Every structure is written in C-alpha cells, then in structure tokens.
C-alpha cells in the first residue's frame, strides 16, 4: 500500500514537472461574452498566459449577465469562461490605452478580439498596424458573420447565427414553431474552430517567423456543423426539415416512449435491427416490407415508431435501457444537466470541479472536456477580478509605478 502511494506521488511529481503544452505562449484576450473568452480559456487551460483586456468600469459584459446574483459582481457565466486568466483594464479609445496595448502586443504570440468588424481598425489597432509592431503575431478576429460579405457589419449572436445558417430550420419537430438548439452551438463551435486555426497559425509562425490574420465567424461555424443535412440536400435536391430526435441517415435512431417516459435508442444497421426485433419478440417486423431495409425504414419512419412503441410502452424506460444495452443495442436515459454532471459517469469523468475564488469561495466550474495523459490541464488562476492584474502585467513590460500613475492620469484605465 505504501509503495503504491509513493509511486502515485512520484507520478504526480513527474506530471507537475512537465510543462503544459502552451506554457510560455502569450495571449491577449480582447473579447467579451462567449466565443472569444471561451476560446482563450481553452488556451489558458493548456498553459498559455492569457491577459484579458477589459473596458474600465464595466469590464466584460458577461460579468453582469444572467438573472441571479452572486456574492460579488461577477456572474456564474463569467466565472465559467475566464479561469486561468489575468485581467487588465484599458480604455482603448484613449491614446495612452492604445499605446499600452501596442506595447503588450510587441511580445505577444496571439491576440483574440471580437469587436464588430472594422472596429479595431478604426481604433488604430487592426492587424495591419499590429503586425508592424510584431510580425509573428497571430491576430484572430471572431465575429457573427465574418470580416467580409454582405452581412459582415451585422451584429451577430448565437441566435442569429443559428437562424441564418439553417440550423434552426432542422431543429424541433415538423410543423412546430422555430426552435433553437438548447446549447449555443454557434458560439462554442466558433470558439473551437478559432482555437484550431489560431494554434495552427501559431505553429506556422514559430517555423516561419510570420504570423497571420484568422477570420472566424459564428455563421461559418454553424454552417460547418451541417454535414448530414446539407449532404442530404445536395444528394436529393430537397431542403432538410426538422425531424425531432430522429436521424436522416438511419432508423430507428431516436427517442422512444415507454410506460413511464422517454429514452433513446438506435438500431442503426441491419444487424442491430434484427437483434431488436428478436429481443422484442416482434419478428413479424422483420418480414414487414415497409421495414426491410434502412431506406424503407426511413421512408416509413412514423409507422416504424408507432409499431415499436406498441412494445416499448409496455415496460418502463429503465428496463428498456438495461435490456437493450445487455443485448449490445445502443440505448440511454434522457438526463437533466444535474443528473448528467452529478451522476456516476459525469463524476468519474470529473466534469464538475470547484475553483477557489477570493470573493465567492468555492465556485463550480465545468471540467476539462478532453483529458491529456502527460500534461493534464490545470486550474492555475481563479477567474480574475476586474483589473486585478493591472500593475503586475504592466510591470512585466517595463511600466514603473510612477509611469503607471502618469498613464492613469492620461485616462488609460478610466471609462
């Protein structure tokens, strides 16, 4: 027992001694709300030094969002998208604030911003200016609809991106009012695509010494999720329509009603279909010409659902999930978020963690969505208080206490 414990301690020491993958990478996060802050948090979780540049006074809009209050001024949403960062307040409309940003950018590797297209350029802080200061800088702009195109100047949020990309057209049930995805797929999707492109550009800059401009948009990201739907349209010429929980590629693959509620299951190939009918003692369905192939089952989806639910409604959902899984047929319960996060699997996967915070105490945070064996992500810093690191970060670029006071008098840190 003692040897095992010592071995685990040695293993932990080895992991701790090994640098995080992005240690030494300097990131300027000039973004608010979700896509930009989330992307920068992912970089920070992997070791990047992320300095969050915020407007004085109010800071990131998300600090004051959500319909309930915490002990301090920051919302739970802000606390879940900004761990591992340092906060500096800069008035980028002031000459002094702009000059400080240029000094910070000189040694940065990555800058992420999500102002309206053209706003940073009008401030004199666009890519063309910053690449003169730092040729190897990767400058990532996140927007609703991209930097070019007829919709580029429109304000863009997740709801608009879902609606205008076609995502809402395939969400919900036929003949129902419009329904958006329950989670912000355009925002989070854009964050993920932005991270992939930004890190690719950063690796390229390390090799060539030349950075580049990354244009990421919620609209493009939402469109990129449309693989099955747009392929269906390109193959048939028919615009996809909402199908509820069903699938365009195979059937049965959806939620089914049992005697006490719904569960999900998928007999999505011929072998599993045969196993399902045998398990349910419904072998006559194997002989039914409406259901003999996947194509025919898709064409008769409603009739198929009715036939299967004749049997499924005879017993509770937990019975069917356990029975189907025992037979090798994919199935699962439909859980609430509390059930998913606090259940045995979410707990085992460490998808809920707590972060120490100077005002809130212990703050729940969503856990790391991917796990690295050699350099696991770490919580190194609490989500920052507004302007918490002004003096610390600026001292690192040579701003003395007396200069700091002078810059403050020039409006660098005031709204």
The dihedrals phi and psi of 242, each to the nearest 5 degrees, come to -65, 145
Query: Which residues have a Cβ under 8 Å from the Cβ of 120 and sit 6 or more positions away?
Result: 30, 113, 126, 127, 141
Residue 407 to residues 89, 181, 272, 412: CA-CA distances in angstroms? 12, 46, 69, 6
Query: Whose CA is closest to 209, among 111, 138, 130?
Result: 138
Residue 183 to residues 69, 131, 188: CA-CA distances in angstroms? 22, 36, 9
Would you call 107 a catalytic residue per the annotation?
Answer: no
Question: Is the preceding omega at residue 272 within 30 degrees of 0, hence cis?
Answer: no
Q: What is the CA radius of gyration of the chain?
A: 26
Query: Which residues have a Cβ under 8 Å from the Cβ of 216 and sit 6 or more positions away?
Result: 35, 140, 141, 142, 143, 190, 193, 194, 197
- What is the Cα–Cα distance from 196 to 216, expressed in whole angstroms? 11
User: Which residue is catalytic, options 45, 109, 187, 229?
Assistant: 187
Q: Give me the sign of the Cα torsion angle 394, 398, 399, 400.
A: positive
- What is the Cα–Cα distance from 60 to 32, expressed in whole angstroms? 5
- What is the Cα–Cα distance from 266 to 86, expressed in whole angstroms? 46
Q: Which residues pair with 29 in a beta bridge?
A: 52, 112
- What is the Cα–Cα distance from 255 to 243, expressed in whole angstroms? 11
List the catalytic residues: 187
């Amino acid at each position: 027992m003692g040897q095992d414990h010592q071995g685990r301690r040695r293993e932990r020491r080895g992991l701790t001694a090994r640098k995080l993958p992005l240690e030494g990478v300097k990131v300027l996060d000039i973004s608010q709300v979700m896509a930009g802050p989330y992307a920068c948090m992912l970089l920070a979780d992997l070791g990047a030094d992320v300095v969050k540049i915020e407007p004085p006074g109010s800071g990131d809009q998300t600090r004051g969002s959500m319909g309930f209050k915490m002990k301090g001024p920051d919302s739970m949403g802000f606390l879940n998208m900004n761990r591992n960062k340092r906060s500096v307040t800069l008035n980028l409309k002031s000459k002094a604030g702009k000059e400080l940003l240029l000094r910070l950018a000189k040694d940065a590797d990555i800058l992420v911003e999500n102002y309206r297209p053209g706003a940073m350029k009008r401030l004199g802080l666009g890519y063309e200016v910053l690449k003169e200061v730092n040729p190897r800088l990767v400058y990532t702009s996140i927007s609703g609809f991209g930097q070019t195109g007829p919709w580029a100047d429109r304000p863009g949020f997740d709801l608009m991106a879902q609606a205008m990309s076609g995502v809402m057209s395939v969400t919900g049930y036929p003949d129902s009012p419009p329904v958006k995805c329950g989670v912000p797929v355009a925002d989070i999707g854009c964050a993920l695509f932005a991270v992939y492109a930004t890190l690719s550009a950063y690796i390229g800059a390390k090799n060539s010494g030349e950075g580049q401009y990354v244009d990421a948009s919620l609209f493009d990201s939402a469109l990129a999720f449309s693989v099955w739907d747009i392929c269906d349209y390109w193959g048939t010429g028919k615009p996809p329509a909402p199908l509820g929980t069903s699938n365009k590629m195979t059937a049965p693959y959806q939620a089914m009603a049992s005697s006490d509620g719904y569960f999900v299951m998928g007999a999505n190939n011929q072998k599993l279909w045969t196993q399902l009918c045998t398990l349910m003692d419904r072998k006559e369905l194997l002989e039914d010409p409406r259901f003999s192939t996947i194509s025919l089952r898709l064409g008769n989806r409603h009739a198929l659902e009715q036939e299967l639910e004749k049997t499924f409604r005879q017993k509770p959902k937990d019975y069917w999930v356990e029975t189907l899984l025992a037979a090798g047929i994919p199935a699962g319960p439909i859980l609430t978020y509390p059930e998913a996060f606090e259940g045995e699997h979410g707990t085992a996967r460490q998808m809920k963690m707590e972060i120490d915070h100077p005002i809130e105490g212990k703050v729940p945070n969503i856990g790391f969505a991917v796990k690295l064996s050699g350099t696991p992500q770490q919580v190194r810093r609490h989500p920052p208080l507004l302007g918490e690191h002004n003096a610390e970060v600026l001292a690192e670029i040579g701003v003395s206490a007396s200069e700091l006071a002078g810059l403050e008098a020039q409006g660098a840190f005031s709204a």
